[in-house]
Amino acid sequence: MLQRGTSLNNYTFPPVLKAFSQLQAFREGGPAHSLVIKLGFDSDAFVQNALVHFYGVCERVDVAQQLFDEIVEPNVVAWTSLLSGYAKLGDLECARRVFDVMPEKNLVSWSAMISGYVQGGQFVEALRLFHEMQVLKICPSLPVLVSILIAIAEMGALQEGLWVHGFIERNGLGWAPNLRASLVHMYMKCGDVVSAWQAFDKMPDRGLDVWNAMIVGLGLHGQGEEALRIFLSMVTEGLQPDDITFIGVLCGCSHAGLVDKGLECFASMNTVYNVLPKVEHYSCVVDLLGRAGLIKEALEVIQSMPVEANGRVWGSLFGACRNHGYAELGEIVGKHLIKLEPHRAGRYVLLANIYASMDRWEDAIKVRELMKQNGVELEPGCSLIEVDGVVHEFLVGDRVHPQTSDIYRKLDEMVKLCRCKGYVPNTKHVLFDISEEEKEGALCWHSEKLAVAFALISTDLEAVIRVVKNLRICGDCHSMMKVVSKVYDREIVIRDRSRFHHFKQGRCSCMDYW
């Protein structure tokens, strides 16, 4: 149009600016804005909305705010565009201020705010806002439901998830592919594999996203054989697997110790399914070999990779070195990782653990000092547990819960009963050169133990105890949970940073292979 000299009007620019927004083409959109001003269309409501949206999407919220302030009577589209801009930038405080003062809200406004909370990791706030929608009798849109299922999955709030599932079915909202996948993902992340299977089996026209959610979920639960079986069923039905499919299968094989099958699957990626392995897949293979104690083979994979190994790949080898006692190689890998990722607290902790296991306390202290010098803060252990629809949070050594006294009494009882059944605190990886008694005290107050103690005094005897932890479960907590599940005859499901552990009658689903 510009080359031909065709006349432009106020209807020309909104779709053009929307195209630039989709591409996040900030540099190309600037001249379009200049042309808007030159032609005198900068006071047109539709053009103004498009400009606010464009600058918000391109993360220039300062410009979006300036343009918004120039609108005499901004409509709901302009308000929502500004809100979305702040949310995309991660400034959720400003986004919420905009949301709260909006004279009118539509479904897109609610969706933008809830999605912003989810993307920013503020899952409790997302759920609270969703509840507010219910009070106001606003029927949520598909994007809202997808976002809220993600929030529920991350929190492990199964009761909330069951309610949302029922809400979808009661209101006949339909089953779009991404909603189906989100539902399966939610059940898997909440530790309810049975409900995930039931939802999966009822779904017609299952797309790749749904199959992937099931495969990845089974992998997280250590059900490698089932993940492989589902993978083969998917292929038989004519679906082409993608890179996410293979990450799920490889993780399942890794957590279940299926080394040969995992390597066979990896080899078939490019040769059979025309899926080029990425660095994430190599990381899975290194993890697969490392967990099995094949450290030399894992190192050879890293050295033969066609792409440069990143922190995730070296991290898989690092963890394997710690678990299988390869202290010297672990020290080398740990030092390399700290140089590669100087702001990852877990790297320092693992290296210090390796030194502690060798009684090299001075070196462990030096790692801690280096961590402080680099301004890296240790992430505290945190566990979430849902009881009667309310999510409770526990930190290590937490004493702020209203039922703290009862919780610690129950915890003392747990430890005494478990000791009678053969439990001995595992102080091997306590990162302090202190007495054994002090080490046992430090282990006793881990967040997942507090969460389980709270569940034992707050839930029915038949209820499954489900805990979500932000870090990897330690060896001592793992050992104790097996005994607790038998002593109290309770099923305990703990989701840590890397996988699920299902404790029942003194056994764990991981078969101590983790």
Residues 6+ apart with CB under 8 A from 272: none
**pLDDT(174) > 80:** no
**pLDDT(441) > 60:** no
What number is the average pLDDT over the span 149-174? 90
**pLDDT(295) > 80:** yes
Please state, in angstroms and rounded to a whole number, the distance separating the CA atoms of residues 115 and 140: 12
Whether 132 and 140 have beta carbons less than 8 Å apart is answered as no
374: DSSP letter: T
First to last CA, the chain: 62
User: pLDDT per residue over 134-159, tens digit each?
Assistant: 999 999 999 999 999 999 999 999 99
What number is the average pLDDT over the span 395-413? 94
Please state, in angstroms and rounded to a whole number, the distance separating the CA atoms of residues 267 and 277: 9
Please state, in angstroms and rounded to a whole number, the distance separating the CA atoms of residues 185 and 170: 20
**pLDDT(305) > 70:** yes
What number is the average pLDDT over the span 19-31? 90
**pLDDT(175) > 80:** no
**pLDDT(15) > 90:** yes
Residue 357's pLDDT is what? 81
What number is the average pLDDT over the span 214-242? 96
- Tell me the backbone φ, ψ of residue 185, rounded to 5 degrees: -60, -40
Residue 436's pLDDT is what? 47
268: DSSP letter: H
| Distance from the Cα of residue 262 to its chain's centroid | 24
User: pLDDT per residue over 53-111, tens digit each?
Assistant: 999 999 999 999 999 999 989 999 999 999 999 999 999 999 999 999 999 999 999 99
19, burial (CB in 10 Å: exposed 0-12, middle 13-18, buried 19+): middle
pTM of the predicted structure, to 2 decimals: 0.87
Helical ranges in 40-141 per DSSP H: 45-57, 61-69, 76-89, 92-101, 107-119, 123-135
User: pLDDT per residue over 351-398, tens digit each?
Assistant: 998 898 888 889 999 998 999 999 998 888 899 999 998 999 999 888
Residue 444's pLDDT is what? 81
Number of H helices, E strands in the chain: 26, 6
Beta bridge mates, 467: 385, 494
**pLDDT(435) > 80:** no
Pairing status of strand 500-504 against strand 507-508: antiparallel
Q: What percent of the chain has pLDDT over 70?
A: 96
DSSP reduced 3-state for 495 = strand
**pLDDT(196) > 50:** yes
Beta bridge mates, 492: 465, 503
What number is the average pLDDT over the span 427-438? 52
Residue 432's pLDDT is what? 52
Residue 60's pLDDT is what? 94
**pLDDT(316) > 80:** yes
Residues 6+ apart with CB under 8 A from 145: 164, 168, 173, 179, 182
Whether 146 and 182 have beta carbons less than 8 Å apart is answered as yes
Any idea which of 41-45, 91-95, 193-197, 287-291 has the lowest mean pLDDT? Answer: 41-45
Residue 245's pLDDT is what? 97
Token output for 286: 């290194």
**pLDDT(438) > 50:** no
